[in-house]
C-alpha cells in the first residue's frame, strides 16, 4: 500500500461522476437509507470491472473496438433513460417511512450496479491503473492486486456514502419546496445527459 495509491484513488473517486450523482440523487429523493444503499450498489458495480482487470479480460475489451463500443453505448442509453426518468418525476419530497422505503431498496441498488456495470471506461481504467502499483517481480501479485482493489472499493463506499448522507441532510430543508425540488431534478437530469455525452464522445 502506498500513499500515492491512496491519494490517486481518492482524487478519482471524489471527482463527481455517474455513481456519485446517482447516490446524491437517491439521498435527495429517498433519504439517508436510500443514499447508503445507492453507495453500496455503486461499489458492487465495480466488482465486475475489477474481476475483468485482474483476470486479464480487460485486455480483450481494450483490444476489441466492437466490444468496447457496444458496452459504451449501452451505458449512454441507460444514462439517457435515467435523465428522462428524473426529468419526468413529479413525486413530491416527503418524509420517508419504513413502509415505503423498503420496497425501493432492490430498485435503488439495481440501478446503482447498472450505472457502474455499463461503464467500460472503468474496466480500462483499472487495467491501466492497478499495474502502476504492482511489480510483476514481486511475490503474490494477484493477492496484492485484490488487496488494492478492495481498498479502492472501500474508499468508494465511504466517499459515496458521505455524498449521500450530505444530500439526505439537505433533503430536510427542501421538504415543502416543490419549485426548488423541480430545479434540482432538472439539474440532475442535465447532469446525466452531460455524462452520457462525455461517455459517447470520449476516446478509448
At which residue does the C-alpha cell 416527503 appear?
Answer: 94
113 and 45 Cβ atoms separated by less than 8 Å: yes
Is pLDDT of 177 > 50?
Answer: yes
Longest dimension (CA), the chain: 61
Distance CA 49, CA 126 (A): 7
129 and 5 Cβ atoms separated by less than 8 Å: no
Mean pLDDT of 68-86: 75
Mean pLDDT of 93-107: 52
Distance CA 6, CA 22 (A): 24
Is pLDDT of 159 > 90?
Answer: yes
pLDDT cut 70: percent of the chain above it: 75
- 67 pLDDT band (50/70/90 cuts)? low
Higher-scoring residue by pLDDT: 33, 184: 33
Is pLDDT of 71 > 80?
Answer: no
pLDDT of residue 183: 76
Distance CA 35, CA 164 (A): 5
Enumerate the domain spans of the chain: 18-89+98-201
Higher-scoring residue by pLDDT: 168, 95: 168
Amino acid at each position: 500500500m502506498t500513499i500515492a495509491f491512496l491519494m490517486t484513488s481518492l482524487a478519482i473517486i471524489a471527482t463527481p461522476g455517474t455513481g456519485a450523482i446517482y447516490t446524491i440523487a437517491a439521498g435527495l429523493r429517498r433519504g439517508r437509507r436510500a443514499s447508503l444503499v445507492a453507495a453500496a450498489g455503486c461499489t458492487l458495480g465495480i466488482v465486475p470491472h475489477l474481476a475483468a482487470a485482474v483476470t486479464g479480460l480487460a485486455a480483450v475489451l481494450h483490444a476489441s473496438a466492437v466490444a468496447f463500443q457496444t458496452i459504451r453505448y449501452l451505458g449512454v442509453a441507460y444514462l439517457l433513460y435515467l435523465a428522462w426518468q428524473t426529468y419526468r418525476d413529479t413525486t413530491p419530497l416527503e418524509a420517508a417511512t419504513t413502509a415505503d422505503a423498503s420496497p425501493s431498496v432492490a430498485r435503488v441498488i439495481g440501478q446503482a450496479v447498472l450505472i457502474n456495470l455499463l461503464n467500460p471506461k472503468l474496466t480500462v481504467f483499472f487495467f491501466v491503473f492497478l499495474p502502476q502499483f504492482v511489480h510483476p517481480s514481486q511475490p503474490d501479485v494477484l493477492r496484492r492486486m485484490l488487496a488494492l482493489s478492495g481498498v479502492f472499493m472501500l474508499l468508494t463506499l465511504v466517499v459515496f456514502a458521505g455524498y449521500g448522507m450530505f444530500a439526505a441532510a439537505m433533503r430536510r430543508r427542501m421538504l415543502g419546496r416543490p419549485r426548488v425540488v423541480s430545479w434540482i431534478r432538472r439539474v440532475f437530469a442535465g447532469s446525466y445527459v452531460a455524462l452520457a455525452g462525455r461517455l459517447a464522445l470520449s476516446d478509448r
